[in-house]
Amino acid sequence: MNAKQPSENEQYLSASNRITAVVVMVIGSLGLIDIVAEWRTLGGLVAGCLIALLMLAAYVGLFRPSVTLRPDSLLIRNHIRDHVVPWNLITDVDMTDILRVHVGDRRLRCPGVQLVMRDMRKQRVGGSKLKADSSVSRAEFVVDRIDYHLSKYGESGSADAQVVTSWARPELGIAAVLAVVALIAQLLR
């Protein structure tokens, strides 16, 4: 594959997961609108909080994960944590069922880039040919892009660079608030 010149940032994610998350969030929003319009009770508040928690779970599990290639580092957004990995610390990149980035003896899993089981079976059996837009082809493209960035920026990092890991504070905070409100509403019912 021809590697294109790097842009400022390149983001890779699972489009099908994002579509599923959007569908779930739209259906949840319709449910919340119905509850606000019709169910103005503590039971309605509990139901609304539970629906909002399910919508948040869809966002965190399906919409949030991604891999962003930047000139200075690789940003891995997992379900509830972010990892910023300087290029010079990455020792290897490979695919199992999802993308894995090796940093010394650690392996950071990247659920934003996944292989579809159907494509994995086709690849193993070797029967029907994989389509050009299969998950295997997309994953190989992402691995090639990361390898390109490694060769271009891998030597330019600082000697004292470290992997910076942080929690997804907004998402965890929203989940905590919704759970507390649902619990208080349930106790007051």
Residues 6+ apart with CB under 8 A from 152: 6
E strand or H helix that includes residue 100:
strand 98-103
* pLDDT exceeds 60 at position 102: yes
- Classify residue 44 as exposed, middle or buried by CB count within 10 Å of its CB (0-12, 13-18, 19+): middle
CA 48 to chain centre: 25
**Residue 2 has what pLDDT?**
46
Q: Retrieve residue 72's tokens.
A: 């200075």
Question: pLDDT category, 96, cuts 50, 70, 90?
Answer: confident
Question: What pLDDT, in 10s, does the model give residues 104-142?
Answer: 899 999 998 877 655 555 555 565 555 555 556 677 888
Evaluate if pTM is beyond 0.75. Answer: yes
Cα angle value 10/73/82 (rounded, 5°): 85
Cβ atoms of residues 150 and 69 within 8 Å: no
Residue 109: helix, strand or coil by DSSP? strand
Question: What pLDDT, in 10s, does the model give residues 21-71?
Answer: 999 999 999 999 999 888 778 889 999 999 999 999 999 999 999 999 998
* pLDDT exceeds 50 at position 1: no
**Residue 134 has what pLDDT?**
54
Max distance between CA atoms of the chain, in angstroms, equals 63
